Structure 1
Amino acid sequence: MAEMPPVRLLLLSLLFTLVIATARDSVGNHDDDDGAALLAFKVGIRRGGSSGPLRSWNSSTSFCSWEGVTCGGGSGRVVALDLSSHGLAGMLPAAIGNLTSLRTLNLSFNWFHGGIPASLGRLHRLQTLDLSYNSLSGTLPDNMSLCTGMTALVLGSNNLGGLIPSSLGDTLTNLKKVSLTNNSLTGAVPASLANLSFLQHLDLSINQLEGSIPPGLRGLRSISHIDLSANGFSGALPSSLYNLSLLRSLQVEGNTLQGSIPADIGDRLPAMEKLVLSRNRFSGAIPHSVTNLSSLTALRLGWNQFSGHVPRTLGRSQDLRYLELAGNKLEADNSRGWEFMDSLANCTQLQYLALDNNSFRGQLPGSVVNLSTSLEKFFIGYNNISGEIPSDISNLAGLKVLQVANTSVSGAIPESIGKLANLVMFFMFNNALSGLVPPSVGNLTRLNWILAYNNNLEGPIPASLGKLKDLNILDMSKNRLNGSIPREIFKLSSLSIQLDLSYNSLSGPLPSEVGSLTNLNWLVLSGNQLRGRIPESISSCTVLEYHSKLVNEQVVRYDSRCLRWNCHFERAVSGTEQLDWANPSCSTKFDIAVGARFVVQ
């Protein structure tokens, strides 16, 4: 091969050097653009505290070393900006659109406000956009559809409004995740979303969307999670959704959807883990095939119009943790219908069971004591069930909430109730319970609420209730309790919402310890035989605000020097006496809800 002439070789060498230099200048210019864009971003934001935001962002160092900035290996361009949870505030500047090599932009969990800048449409290489948990407003920019490589669009928990652009499904066909939850989006779901064949996660919950759910969503062949809860969707749930064989979570709670569950749902959705249809208008029977959903962890069908019997082998879904069937027309009686309770013993991870507000009848099944020791919340009230609370209820050691209210359950509260050491809320009102209040209730030191009103409970109030240092509400009104009110109860400074012992047969004086209830809002003791003077210490109860009706329309007031007190009491004697509680230093207004039948002496 002939050698290249020296002159030509020299020219080629010069040309190569020129190309390299030009390329370096070009990269350098883009570097300058990225640095300028980042500094423009910083100028428009703020953060609480004296240090100011993003202190590392200054010209003394390369922007590739700045906090939250990631540059590409060879290009030196910004490819990722992650400033999530930095407490930043302000408006997003248009200059952010100059970061044209950006692939990931994550500004979630901050305080940004204003609109999403249209300049984001220039980020043609953007793959992940996460602006969730801010205060952004306005609409979704139409030119966001120019970011054709985007795989994740996460804009939840903002104040965005307007329509979902149809272009979202027309051009952003690589999307795998779309989360627009907790905004104020309106209108219908665009049918174009059916084009997103790679979409795996769709969350449009907690908006103001309306209309019917597009049947074309059957085109989402890769979808595993759909959440359309808390909107205004109506009509039937498209049967085509039940053909999405990869679907693991379907949540449409809180709409006005109607129709029935397909009889073969258990065969069409083999991967289903979370099925949430609650608070709609669904009707018909719960199909037996639902027991074939072997991976089911949550089944929420509450507050619809489902009827008939609960599938007797529901417990075949052994991974079930959350079962809500409340607020329907489901049936059971002593002859049939309660078999499902036996099978639920197989669900060893069950944590939540809501069966209240149905048409269940007959005796409370004894198998309730065989439920999971992991069960934390159990609701079975507002049914026409009878029988007694089994003494082995203490087997449910994990219970935090027990609700057996508004039923015909009778008998005594078992002493073993005191073994439910995790109990926080105890609802036993409007029943036919009788007998003594077991002193073992005082062992439930985590209790916040006790509602046991309108029963036939009798005997004294156990002084052991004074050990319930976290108690906020105690309502045992409308029973047959007698004796004096234990002083220990009035020492519970945690009582902040309500103490109601009215309409019993309690007697004796009101203890001076009542003044310890400095956080209490409601104190109702009317309908008893309490006697003696009202303790002066009650003036310490400065937040009482409930008024009780006066039995004989007479009012007893404090001394005129404390006219800012507006204290009304029921009286058991006639006359116009004033309580002579002179206190020249009183200055706080409060309303006392004692409402007790005190005799003024």
Structure 2
Amino acid sequence: MSFLRALDLSSNWLRGEIPASIGRLRRLRTLDLRVNTFSGALPGNITSCASLTGMFLSSNRLAGSVPAELGDTLARLQVLDLNNNSFTGPVPASLANLTSLRQLSLGLNSFAGSIPPGIGRDMAHLEFIDLCDNRRLSGELPPSLYNLSSLTSLDVGQNALQGIIPPDIHLQLPRLRYLGLFDNQFTGAIPSSLSNLTDLQELELSENGFTGSVPSDLGRLQSLWNLQLDGNRLEAGRTEGWEFMDSLANCSKLEVLVLGDNNFTGDLPASVAKLSTTLQMLYLYDLGVSGTIPSDIGSLVGLKVLWILNTYISGAIPDSIGKLANLTELHLDNNGLSGLIPSSAGNLTKLIKISASSNNLEGSIPKSLGKLSSLISLDFSRNCLNGSIPKEVFELPSLSLILDLSHNSLSGPLPLEVGILANLNVMNLSGNRLSGQIPSTIRNCMVLEELLLDSNLFQGSIPQPLGDIKGLRVLNLTMNRFSGVIPDALASIHSLQQLYLAHNSLSGPIPADLQNLTSLSNLDVSFNDLQGEVPKEGVFRNLSYLSIAGNKNLCGGIPLLHLDPCSNSSPVRKKNNKRWFKYSKVALATTGALLFLVLLTAAIYISKKPRKNSQKSQPLAPTITGEHQYERVSYQELSDGTKGFSETNLLGKGSYGTVYRCTFTEDETTTAVKVFNLEQSGSTRSFVAECEALRSVRHRCLLRIITCCSSIDSQGREFKALVFELMPNGSLNSWLHHPNSSGEPATSKNTLSLTQRLDIAVDIADALDYLHNHCQPPIVHCDLKPSNILLAQDMSARVGDFGISRILSESACKTAYQNSNSVVGIRGSIGYVAPEYGEGCAVSTLGDVYSLGILLLEMFTGRSPTDAAFGDSLDLPRFSEAAFPDRVLEVADPNLWLHLHSDDGATRSRVQECLLPVIRLGLSCSKHQPRERTPVRDAAVEMRAVRDEAYLMFAASLAVDMEGENGVRATRGE
């Protein structure tokens, strides 16, 4: 064995450690153990194999560090291939001594630190370098690497490297064929000298900080087939910067072109359609470009993948798109496209995925799509499509991933052919005008996991055959016209996790067997006409995920539901006088509050003088004062000011009412009016709660109530409304999540900067501190979430919606749920409500602290606590904690970077310094145990200190956007 020259055991899936005895093979020249499952460390005595010229160890599970002396002893080594393992530690500096090396492959490992400066200095034969995807390699590339005239491939992508591309790179690396610098921190301009690398075939510069224009003469690279420039700050505008696109038409071998996520504006040049017919993949996304899709886009007959996403491109989809016969993926989402879906799309018979969501497409869905026999995914959601869904779409048995036609104006019945979609995973037809009954053939969709039919006009009974879809996880039939009983068959779907049946006309009992579904975590049967006893086990025990409101004839259930006992239950009053007395106090307190409000309104009506005309510049006088003086406003004034409560003045909808913009005709003062839906259970109590909570509080960070109206509407029905100061910048929720959900591209104008978020966080913490510690008695908000945080003209925050707030009297502090306004006995919204509330604990200020913690994590990660990515084993606090502290930038909201003028190491370090204490505070406030949470007084102090430190840090670097047309603040004094 000592005379062995070559050892080739590749691709045998061998396991265990590499035996140390391998070091005795002194004459071994080739060691090939590629594609096995060897683990453990690289034997130290492998350096004794002094005759080795090739070491191939890629695609194993080797770990630990590479012996530091490897380069000193294996002087004859020509190939060192350690790719795709788990090696750690630094890249050995001794590798610079391998003067015979031709190939150095260390990619897909976990090497850290800088690349040794000597590598490349005396390596005259080195042709191939692969250091890709180590993630923790940092610093600049050694200058010696740029002096390797023999080098043909340099791949250092997916690391933390920085620096610039030398302007004379064509002289230093004349034979270069592949340059991969993607996903690093390189900056500066892309040098025009790259166009002189006549052998260059692939140029991947994605996800860096490159700036300036793309070199205009890239078309000189006749061998170029792969060009990826996405994720930088490259520029092109209406008058200049697009010359490179004209030039690329000369690249006759071009197959891949990726230009997304840059500062490209102006009209998309028509020269896009003049690129080589060899082009197979074209990615244009997250760009500020406008104009239209070139009418002759069909000339790119080689295209297999076309992405035009998140741009301002408008106009019709060209009919010539039907000439792209090789197309397998077509994605046109989140643009401004209009007109009809061209029937020529039916010619794309190789198409696997097609999507054009969030546009303004109109007309009917062409029947020709039924010819797309390879289609697995179809998404035309959030458009203006109308007419019926052609049965030809349902006759595509290949559809297996998703069929999403939601949020259009589609009408007509669901065809019987729906049962042909036997392989479909997700069907989303929400938000249309579909009618009729759900056909029983739906049972044939055997692998369906999500069925979303909410917000339509379906009627009849919920079909029993739904119970045959055994893998169903989500069923949403909310806001239809279903009648009859909830079928018992639904209780046989053991995989069911979310069931939504609210706002229908269902009657009869809730099937008791639903409590046996161990996977069911969300159940909403609210606002039906259900009767009988509420089950007590399973999901019916978890009040955070159960909604039964609006069913007046339900009874029983767990005590926290506060429902009347069922008729066959024994009387409670005689058996438990104390409990009866507690609920009697609740009734008396509620009645007293209502009586107080009626008397107060009557007194005001009698004593009020006619309102004088005021100047236009003066707002309505404050009406809730320490003496409880209200300025009366009538129903007619509110109706006139909102144009009959028209949709054009609609600002939003909440749990108990609808908010409108109201301009009073007398003085043209503009306010916000919250009109309570008195048909919903609990809305009157919510009205009283807001009046009680806000009648005496005074703080700059609380939404100011101007007056109230308790009257009769034009149809003789009871009417209640509150008038608030208008917040022109809407809710915090719309700034955190609207750009991602509406199709509108995220920009610095519709997202929040880091310091803006810090300002808002300070305002929220100050508001809670005031409510908890400076109000007597203290007030618990109970529903702190982004949609209840409103933003003023200067982007300062106001905490609003006190509809389920709680005033903590001394007796209330001792009695759980006294004066509760919650139908199900729990206060707050899913994702924000404190966990102890679901266990029956009393309302406390620490419940608000939990909501504050979740809100802080959401503000700075951009992730909602109800994000679909979070499952049973993950939530927002655990998601944030997993990245804290070392990887906090990985979970930061990507929109933060839209407000920064650079993405260099210093800037990232400053951002991390700001994020760390905020995420730490968010985690501390959202602890599961209430006693472990940071008191709100301390949280407010800490939040203010973080904000002030950030001002000093970013003001010096000029990295924060100054005040703009939206009234955005850079700094704001108190």
Instruction: Tell me the equivalent position of 1:275.
Output: 179
2: CA distance, partners of 1:197 / 1:330: 39
Deviation track 1:17-64 (CA, whole Å, cap 9, x = no partner) reads: xxxxxxxxxxxxxxxxxxxxxxxxxxxxxxxxxxxxxxxxxxxxxxxx
Of 294, 297, 305, the match for 1:390: 294
- Is the CA contact (8 Å cut-off) linking 2:399 and 2:421 kept in structure 1? yes
Q: CA deviation at 1:504?
A: 1.1
Instruction: Tell me the equivalent position of 1:105.
Output: 7
Instruction: Tell me the equivalent position of 1:90.
Output: none
2: CA distance, partners of 1:510 / 1:579: 20
Change (3 A) 1:424 1:488: same
2: CA distance, partners of 1:125 / 1:468: 61
Instruction: Tell me the equivalent position of 1:185.
Output: 87
Change (3 A) 1:589 1:538: farther
Change (3 A) 1:593 1:468: farther
Change (3 A) 1:219 1:237: same
1: CA distance, partners of 2:331 / 2:236: 22
2: CA distance, partners of 1:561 / 1:535: 10
Instruction: Tell me the equivalent position of 1:514.
Output: 418
Instruction: Tell me the equivalent position of 1:443.
Output: 347
Give secondary structure in 2 for the equivalent of 1:267.
Answer: helix
2: CA distance, partners of 1:434 / 1:140: 61
Letter in 2 for 1:132: R
Change (3 A) 1:475 1:545: same
Matched, 1:225 2:124: no
- Is the CA contact (8 Å cut-off) linking 1:500 and 1:525 kept in structure 2? yes
Of 197, 214, 230, the match for 1:310: 214
- Is the CA contact (8 Å cut-off) linking 1:352 and 1:376 kept in structure 2? yes
1: CA distance, partners of 2:500 / 2:438: 10
Give secondary structure in 2 for the equivalent of 1:153.
Answer: strand
Q: CA deviation at 1:592?
A: 9.8
Matched, 1:298 2:202: yes
Matched, 1:577 2:484: yes
Give secondary structure in 2 for the equivalent of 1:208.
Answer: coil
2: CA distance, partners of 1:130 / 1:596: 64
Change (3 A) 1:561 1:515: closer
2: CA distance, partners of 1:591 / 1:536: 22
Q: CA deviation at 1:581?
A: 10
Deviation track 1:463-485 (CA, whole Å, cap 9, x = no partner) reads: 11111111111110111111110
- Is the CA contact (8 Å cut-off) linking 1:531 and 1:598 kept in structure 2? no
Change (3 A) 1:360 1:593: farther
Where does structure 2 lack aligned partners over 5 or more consecutive residues?
507-974
Instruction: Tell me the equivalent position of 2:35.
Output: 133
Q: CA deviation at 1:291?
A: 1.0
1: CA distance, partners of 2:34 / 2:399: 39
Letter in 1 for 2:144: S
- Is the CA contact (8 Å cut-off) linking 1:526 and 1:570 kept in structure 2? no
Letter in 2 for 1:115: E
- Is the CA contact (8 Å cut-off) linking 1:545 and 1:591 kept in structure 2? no
Letter in 1 for 2:408: N
Q: CA deviation at 1:599?
A: 10
Change (3 A) 1:525 1:550: closer
Letter in 2 for 1:577: G
Give secondary structure in 2 for the equivalent of 1:537.
Answer: helix
2: CA distance, partners of 1:514 / 1:558: 14
- Is the CA contact (8 Å cut-off) linking 1:526 and 1:597 kept in structure 2? no
Give secondary structure in 1 for the equivalent of 2:441.
Answer: helix
Q: CA deviation at 1:290?
A: 1.0
1: CA distance, partners of 2:410 / 2:455: 17
| TM-score, normalised by the number of residues in structure 2 | 0.49
Instruction: Tell me the equivalent position of 2:633.
Output: none
Q: CA deviation at 1:560?
A: 11
Matched, 1:330 2:237: no
Instruction: Tell me the equivalent position of 1:155.
Output: 57
Of 86, 106, 115, the match for 1:213: 115
- Is the CA contact (8 Å cut-off) linking 2:443 and 2:468 kept in structure 1? no
- Is the CA contact (8 Å cut-off) linking 2:363 and 2:387 kept in structure 1? yes
- Is the CA contact (8 Å cut-off) linking 1:310 and 1:340 kept in structure 2? yes
2: CA distance, partners of 1:413 / 1:169: 59
Q: CA deviation at 1:571?
A: 3.5
1: CA distance, partners of 2:498 / 2:412: 19
1: CA distance, partners of 2:480 / 2:20: 74
Of 184, 196, 199, the match for 2:101: 199
Q: CA deviation at 1:240?
A: 1.7
Higher helix share: 2
Letter in 2 for 1:341: M
- Is the CA contact (8 Å cut-off) linking 1:224 and 1:247 kept in structure 2? yes
Change (3 A) 1:114 1:563: closer
Change (3 A) 1:421 1:121: same
2: CA distance, partners of 1:363 / 1:587: 52
Change (3 A) 1:304 1:106: same
Change (3 A) 1:277 1:181: same
Instruction: Tell me the equivalent position of 1:403.
Output: 307
2: CA distance, partners of 1:369 / 1:571: 46
Q: CA deviation at 1:270?
A: 0.4
Runs of 4+ in 1 over 4 A off after TM superposition: 547-552, 554-567, 579-584, 586-600
Q: CA deviation at 1:545?
A: 2.0
Q: CA deviation at 1:208?
A: 0.5
Q: What are the within-5 Å matches in structure 2 for residues 368-517 of structure 1?
A: 368-517=272-421
Give secondary structure in 1 for the equivalent of 2:437.
Answer: coil
Deviation track 1:187-210 (CA, whole Å, cap 9, x = no partner) reads: 001111111101000000000100
Q: What are the within-5 Å matches in structure 2 for residues 349-364 of structure 1?
A: 349-364=253-268
Q: CA deviation at 1:166?
A: 2.0
Matched, 1:143 2:45: yes
Give secondary structure in 1 for the equivalent of 2:231.
Answer: coil
Percent identical: 52
Equivalent pairs, count: 500
Change (3 A) 1:234 1:180: same
1: CA distance, partners of 2:217 / 2:408: 45
| TM-score, normalised by the number of residues in structure 1 | 0.79
